[in-house]
C-alpha cells in the first residue's frame, strides 16, 4: 500500500498516545462471528498499530487491553482473553524486542494466573533496555484501583501527609516514569473513560472514532495525530497566541 505523506510537524507529534481499544465484540457480531474472533482480529490490529506508532515517532504507547471490570464478562470470554495475552507474548515477543520495544505492564499483575505472571515478567525483563518505543500494557487495570494501590503503598512507606504532592502520587502510580498521555484515542464511538488513566488524563486531548478497534488502521491513526496537531492545549491558561497579542 502506498505511504500516505505526513503533514504533521515533528514537534506536534504527541510524546505519549493511549488507546482504549474498544469494539472488538461488535466488530465480530456484525460479521456473525463469536466475540472472541473480534478479540483475535483486535490483536492482529495491535501488531500493526505498534508498528505505525514507531513509524510516526511516538515514544510512549499505552493500550487498554483488559480492565478489572472485564472479569464480569462470560467466563469463556475472560478465558479467551487470558489465552490471547499469553499467545501474543509467545508469538510477538522476539519481534517486538528486535524492533526495540520496551514492554511494561500496568495493573494488578499479582491477581493473574501465575503462568501469565511469569510470561509477563519475562517479557519485561527481556526488553527493559529497549528505548525505541515504551509500550505500557494495561491488563487487569483500572484507574481507581491504581490510585487505591498508590495510597496503600504510600501509607505502608510511612509517607507524611504534608509530603503527599502531585509528584509524589505520580511516583506511586503504575505509570511512574511515563509522562501523562498527550492524546487518548477511543475506538467504537463510546464517549467515556471507562476507568482508564483517570489521574493521568487530567489534560489529555481526545480523539474518538466510530471505527471498531479491528478496523482502526494507519490512515485513521494519522487522522488522530493530525487532529491532535491542530489542538490548542491551554492547561487552564490562555492560548499563547492570545498572550502575544495582549503583550503587543
Ligand atoms: C474491547 O472490545 C476489548 C476488551 C474490552 C477486552 P469489547 O469486547 O469491549 O467490544 P464491544 O465494546 O463489546 O464491542
Ligand atoms: C474498556 O472497554 C476496556 C478495554 C478496552 C479493555 P469496555 O468495553 O470494557 O468499556 P465499557 O463497558 O464500554 O465502558
Ligand atoms: Mg467495549
How many C-beta atoms lie closer than 10 Å to residue 23's C-beta? 24
* Residue 2 pLDDT exceeds 80: no
28 Cβ inside 6 Å of ligand 1:
no
The pLDDT, as a whole number, for residue 6 is 64
* Assigned C-alpha cell, 191: 464517549
DSSP 5: P
CA distance 144 to 153: 14
* CATH class of residue range 11-247: alpha beta
pTM above 0.85, yes or no: yes
Tens digits of per-residue pLDDT, 155-210? 999 999 999 999 999 999 999 999 999 999 999 999 999 999 999 999 999 999 99
| Placement of cell 488522530 in the chain | 224
Residues within 5 Å of ion ligand 3 by Cβ?
22
Ligand 3 center from residue 197 Cα (angstroms): 16
Residue 218 pLDDT grade (very low, low, confident, very high; cuts 50, 70, 90): very high
187 Cβ inside 6 Å of ligand 1:
no
* Assigned C-alpha cell, 212: 471498531
The pLDDT, as a whole number, for residue 5 is 53
- Tell me whether residue 22 is one of the annotated catalytic residues: yes
Ligand 1, closest atom to CA 26? 14
Alpha-carbon dihedral of residues 29, 81, 104, 204, nearest 10 degrees?
30
Tens digits of per-residue pLDDT, 91-104? 999 999 999 999 99
CA distance 149 to 164: 15
The pLDDT, as a whole number, for residue 16 is 98
- Tell me whether residue 113 is one of the annotated catalytic residues: no
| Placement of cell 505520580 in the chain | 170
The domain spans of the chain are 11-247
Is the separation of the CB atoms in 175 and 135 below 8 Å?
A: no
Amino acid at each position: 500500500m502506498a505511504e500516505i505523506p505526513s503533514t504533521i510537524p515533528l514537534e506536534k507529534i504527541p510524546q505519549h498516545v493511549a488507546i482504549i481499544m474498544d469494539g472488538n465484540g461488535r466488530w465480530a457480531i456484525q460479521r456473525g462471528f463469536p466475540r472472541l474472533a473480534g478479540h483475535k482480529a483486535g490483536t492482529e490490529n495491535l501488531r500493526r498499530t505498534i508498528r505505525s506508532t514507531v513509524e510516526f515517532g511516538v515514544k510512549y504507547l499505552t493500550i487498554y487491553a483488559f480492565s478489572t471490570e472485564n472479569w464480569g464478562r462470560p467466563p469463556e470470554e475472560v478465558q479467551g482473553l487470558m489465552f490471547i495475552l499469553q499467545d501474543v507474548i509467545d508469538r510477538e515477543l522476539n519481534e517486538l524486542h528486535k524492533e526495540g520495544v520496551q514492554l511494561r505492564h500496568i495493573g494488578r499483575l499479582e491477581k493473574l494466573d501465575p503462568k501469565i505472571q511469569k510470561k509477563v515478567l519475562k517479557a519485561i525483563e527481556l526488553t527493559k533496555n529497549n528505548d525505541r518505543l515504551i509500550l505500557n500494557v494495561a491488563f487487569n487495570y483500572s484507574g481507581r484501583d491504581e490510585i487505591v494501590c498508590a495510597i496503600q503503598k504510600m501509607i505502608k512507606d510511612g509517607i507524611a501527609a504534608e509530603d503527599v504532592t502531585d509528584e509524589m502520587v505520580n511516583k506511586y502510580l503504575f505509570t511512574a516514569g511515563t509522562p501523562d498521555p498527550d492524546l487518548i484515542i477511543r475506538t467504537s464511538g463510546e464517549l467515556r473513560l471507562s476507568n482508564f488513566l483517570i489521574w493521568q488524563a487530567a489534560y489529555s486531548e481526545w480523539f474518538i472514532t466510530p471505527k471498531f478497534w479491528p478496523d482502526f488502521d494507519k490512515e485513521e491513526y494519522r487522522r488522530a495525530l493530525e487532529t491532535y496537531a491542530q489542538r490548542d492545549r491551554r492547561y487552564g491558561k490562555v492560548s499563547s497566541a492570545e498572550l502575544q497579542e495582549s503583550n503587543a
